[in-house]
Structure 1
Amino acid sequence: MGSPRSSGSTRGSRRRRWASLLGATALAVTAGGALAAPAGAASNVDYPTHCIPPAIAGLPPIDGTTTAKITVDNTSPKVGDTVTVTYTVVTPAASNPTDLALPADIMTPTGKVTLAGAQTGSVTVTGPKKNDPVPGKGAFPSFSMTGTFTVTAPGAINLSPGDYNIHTSYILELDTPCTVTNPPAPVSETVTAADNPPANTRAITLGSASGSPGATVAVTGSGFTPGAAVTLAGRSGTTQTADTATVTANAQGGISGSLAVSDLTTTGVVAYEGGAWSADLGAGPVAYVVIDDQPVPDGSQKVTTTVRAGTLSMSQAGDAVQLSGVDFGQGGASTGALQTVTVKDFRGGPAGWSLTGKVTDFNGPGAKIDAGKLSWSPACATKAGSPSTCQAGSAGTVGASGATLASTPDGTGTGGEFTADARLSLDVPSFTPPGTYAGVLTLTLT
């Protein structure tokens, strides 16, 4: 009897040593049953999970409960839209079973989100190699993974958490796959997709770009509903003038007619179906100018002036940004603010603008921080009285490929003054060598 106990003791000792060595992937779980959340609610759900530690860890498969949540960036998309999905494992079915503390940024998660309902399939999601340190016997931290899918059918699409894998890079490169024991897991989020109406292909051309007051301009077009009554109208900026005419679309959806244009403030001509202008059922505006060439009555003087088109330009409040420092061994977010950028659009005309930025790697003493570690949260403001309205870019990574800081859309009348800012955050790896690191953020206005 003594020999078997000695043999079992030796095997247990070896297993403990391997578990200590590979604590990052030797999983312990808390057993429990699954609690389903109501379908359609973006909420935490619990589901049973079967995890298989790396064989070298010497541990048997483990059954426990994962708590997770699925969120999306758009719960009401249209067919053809791209939806970004985030799979957050709030409480993994795992904890560190050893006394060995695990360092930060060794875990890289991947997983699947299951689609059901109006659209079926799965979405591959991935997470960054980022985690807080895990103390000995401590619980593994929450982590998030993201991915995208394109909506292909209208209706309710249910999203459930699926299988996930924790890859660890500590001493060895190892994987710990965790599968849903009784798939599918409960629904955590539902998106309701709408049909995407067909694209508006209506278009018109004019026989001339200008004329005297009261002169007629030929209007031809295509893409209209066969047999529909189509209104031709003058536009002054975004306002319709009193100059209108009606034509009927032929069997091929084409139109041909003429419009007498008298309003001296006319800037363009449109054509549309229905009782009023609609971007979905209309075409244009196509630029048209009324030239006031009427003779001056006796005893009168015509007074004219010229408004000269200007330029699109930008200026910066400064050319240097000092981010906050971080501690060696801790790393984390080094934060600061972009120097304010002022954009002046004095061109006139229909064109908007876009202000983008990209950054180089941050070079330091014998090391560098990758450009992809810099992210920003843009903001912009429009000066009162400006025809255009500034739109801030999306928060996220800047990187070497670049991102949008701010923009204005094309329109009938554009221009104005704008200011753009952003909060900056550089994710510094925990054991980056001490020193000063600098990168160049280049802004381009087009």
Structure 2
Amino acid sequence: MPSAAPRSPRPAGRSRRWTAVLGVLALAAGASSLAAPAQALVAAAAPVDFATHCVPPPIAGIPPIDGTTTAQITVDNAAPKVGDTVTVTYTVTKPAAGNPVDLALPADIMTPTGKVTLGGAQPGSVTVTGPKKNPPVPGKAPFPPFSMTGTFTVTAPGSITLSPGDYNIHTSYIMELDTPCTVTNPPAPVSETITATDQPGANERTITLGTATGNPGDQVTVTGAKFAPNANITVAGRAGAAETADKATVKADASGGFTTSLTVNDKATTGIVAYEGTAWDAEKGAGPAAYTVIDDTPLPPGSQKLNASVKAGTLSMSQAGDAVEMSAVDFGAGGPSTGDLQTVTVKDFRGGPAGWSLTGKVTDFTGPGGAKIDAGKLGWTPACTTKPGSPSTCAAGSAGPVGSAGATLASTPDGAVTGGEFTVNAEVTLDVPAFSAPGAYSGVLTLTLA
């Protein structure tokens, strides 16, 4: 019986944004992810000492003991992205509790549990558990070192600190007994620090124009949204893929929005773009928004100008259904649950210079009793075909994880004239952890066309 012993995408800015929601179902798929094995210790981790208050089982007949615990926190990924799952290992190298009697305790009767305290950019705690495994403990000897592991999902960018927290030693020998040990002055010293960064997601910057046509020298009002707050923005005319000399600069407000005027002189201008900084960056820009400069060149005597027009349409999408049935996996084995997205049809009848991008984000998969499979476990392999005669050519997004941060399903590039009709599909795979609780699980995949 234990006692205690004292010791020391693509650019946005299209003419219209469309969003569709596609339900995704998985049968006999799991609950929370199983902890992955810890990797090699990272150099930043350091052992720390902290005062501990341990309460022996009442049957031991001895009072609580205030001692010192030495412990170390390690992680399998010291530079995760938001949405990643990090495995945490809490190793107690010198417990502040021991065997209070002369009777030796046999091997494999101790099961440790505990908490790791998170601080900094993501306050909270991580529950950790160790295996039921220990060497024999001689009478009156300190308990041997032990390790506990758990996982958490990164939800915020920045520096996240990890400190050892309370722990409990449960023994199963003759009777079931617990020795809880709490941190006397929480939180304990920081043993590990990780630096999380934002997960790259779809570019949601947009621009709209006050008018789509004008004479040379006219001003057009340009309004932007979802740029970086307080960023310096360049607004410029485009002639196909090249910029013209027509430029203006403006500073975004605290919400990432702006409104400015651009004087357009170049008759070759077919669109207007806006981007952060001084050089075009598709990941930090929006547009091109279609703009036409009216040719006001005087006609020769005896001439007539014949004016005809082609009416521009819209950018739209439709999908063949709103549910995907995915294959079942076996309890205890886990593995891939697979299916095919309902076919999405994209019609780009705008006739301007802007391409489009179709992106997707997925929620966590939830199941019986609040069980969950992390959104990052869903991946896809996109495919895209272009209807013959379309000015643009569709490109499928990269195969890989979707997650809550999102990924590109398909896109077309900017060009002098863009448009067409496209069919988009994807094979989807949910990596179900082993020993996930049986039942039906569902997540929601939201597709956004911009």
TM range (shorter): 0.5 to 0.7
1:372 corresponds to 2:367: no
> Which AA in structure 2 matches 1:276?
A
The residue type paired with residue 419 of structure 1 is E
Distance 1:52 1:405 in 2: 43
Residue in 2 that maps onto 1:381: 381
| Cα separation, 2, equivalents of 1:151 and 1:304 | 46
Deviation at 1:245, TM superposition (A): 0.9
How much has 1:143 moved relative to structure 2? 1.2
When residues 169 and 344 of structure 1 are mapped into structure 2, their CA distance, relative to the original with a 3 A threshold, is: farther
> Does the C-alpha gap of structure 1 residues 337 and 169 become closer, same or farther in structure 2, counting only changes over 3 Å?
farther
Is 2:340 the partner of 1:336? Answer: no
The answer to whether the 8 Å contact 2:328/2:337 transfers is yes
Aligned to 2:21: none
CA drift of 1:176 comes to 0.9
Cross-structure match for 1:354 = 361
- Are the equivalent residues in 2 in contact too, given 1:41–1:190 (CA < 8 A)? no
Q: Is 1:234 paired with 2:238?
A: yes
Do the aligned residues in 2 keep the contact of 1:213 with 1:261 (CA within 8 Å)? no
Instruction: Please give the per-residue CA displacement for 1:48-106, whole angstroms capped at 9, x wherever unaligned.
Output: 664513351425637565342243856499xxx89987652224545787449659xx7
What is the distance in 1 between the residues matched to 2:315 and 2:330?
Answer: 42
Aligned twin of 1:421: 429
Q: Deviations over 1:6-64 (max 9, x none)?
A: xxxxxxxxxxxxx2xxxxxx3578978xxxxxxx9333526466451335142563756
The one-letter amino acid of 2:148's match is: F
Match runs of 1:57-72 below 5 Å:
57-58=59-60, 59=62, 61=65, 63=67, 66-71=70-75
CA distance in 2, matches of 1:343, 1:391: 18
User: Once the two structures are superposed, what CA deviation does each residue of 1:298-326 show, in whole Å capped at 9, x if it has no partner?
Assistant: xxxx99999996534579996441315xx
TM-score normalised to structure 1 length: 0.54
Q: Which amino acid aligns with 1:444?
A: V
Structure 1: distance between partners of 2:210 and 2:409 = 28
**Amino acid of the residue matched to residue 395 of structure 2?**
S
The one of 321, 324, 343 equivalent to 2:328 is: 321
- For residues 222 and 182 of structure 1, the distance between their equivalents in structure 2, rounded to whole angstroms, comes to 47
Name the SS of the counterpart of 2:395 in structure 1.
coil
Structure 1 position 212, deviation (Å):
9.1
Larger radius of gyration: 1
Look up the SS of the partner of 1:339 in the other structure: strand
Secondary structure of the residue aligned to 1:133 is: coil
The residue correspondences of 1:188-227 to structure 2 (distance < 5 A) are 188-191=191-194, 205-209=208-212, 211=213, 218-221=220-223
Partner of 1:285: 287
Q: Identify if the C-alpha distance between structure 1 residues 374 and 127 changes in structure 2 by more than 3 Å, giving closer, same or farther.
A: same
Q: CA deviation at 1:229?
A: 9.9
**Amino acid paired to 2:91:** V
Is contact 2:56-2:179 (8 Å) kept? yes
User: In structure 2, what is the equivalent of residue 245 of structure 1?
Assistant: 246
| Structure-to-structure mapping, 1:155-174, within 5 angstroms | 159=161, 161-166=163-168
8 Å CA contact 1:231–1:273 kept in 2: the answer is no
Q: CA–CA distance in 2 between the matches of 1:29 and 1:85?
A: 34
Q: 49, 53, 56: which one pairs with 2:55?
A: 53
Q: What is the rounded CA distance, in whole Å, between the counterparts of 1:31 and 1:336 in structure 2?
A: 47
Cα deviation, residue 127, structure 1: 0.7
Distance 1:124 1:174 in 2: 25
Contact in 1 for aligned 2:333/2:434 (Cα 8 Å):
yes
- Structure 2 match to 1:127: 127
Gaps of 5+ in 2: 9-41, 138-143, 198-203, 296-303, 349-355, 385-393, 414-421
The 1:353/1:317 distance shift into structure 2, 3 A limit, reads closer
Structure number with the bigger relative contact order (C-alpha 8 A, sep ≥ 6) is 2
Q: Work out whether residues 134 and 140 of structure 1, in 8 Å CA contact, stay in contact via their aligned partners in 2.
A: no
After superposition, residues 401-440 of structure 1 pair within 5 angstroms as: 404=404, 407-408=407-408, 416-427=424-435, 438-440=438-440
Say whether the 8 Å CA contact 1:231–1:247 is kept in structure 2. yes
Alignment-mate amino acid for residue 262 of structure 2: G
Alpha carbons 1:51, 1:63 under 8 Å: kept: yes
TM-score for both structures, normalised by structure 2: 0.53
Q: Deviations over 1:366-409 (max 9, x none)?
A: xxxx4526567333334486254455145xxxxxxxxx596438
Q: What SS does structure 1 have at the residue aligned with 2:44?
A: coil
Q: Distance in 1 between matches of 2:53 and 2:135?
A: 20
- In 2 relative to 1, CA 358–307 (structure 1 residues): closer, same or farther, beyond 3 Å? same
The secondary structure found in structure 2 opposite 1:270 is strand
Are 1:142 and 2:144 counterparts? no
**Identity rate, percent:** 15
2:89 maps to 1:88: yes
Task: Give the counterpart letter for 2:221 in structure 1.
Answer: V
Alignment deviations for residues 177-207 of structure 1 (CA, whole Å, 9 cap, x no partner): 244899965x64345699xxxxxx9985412
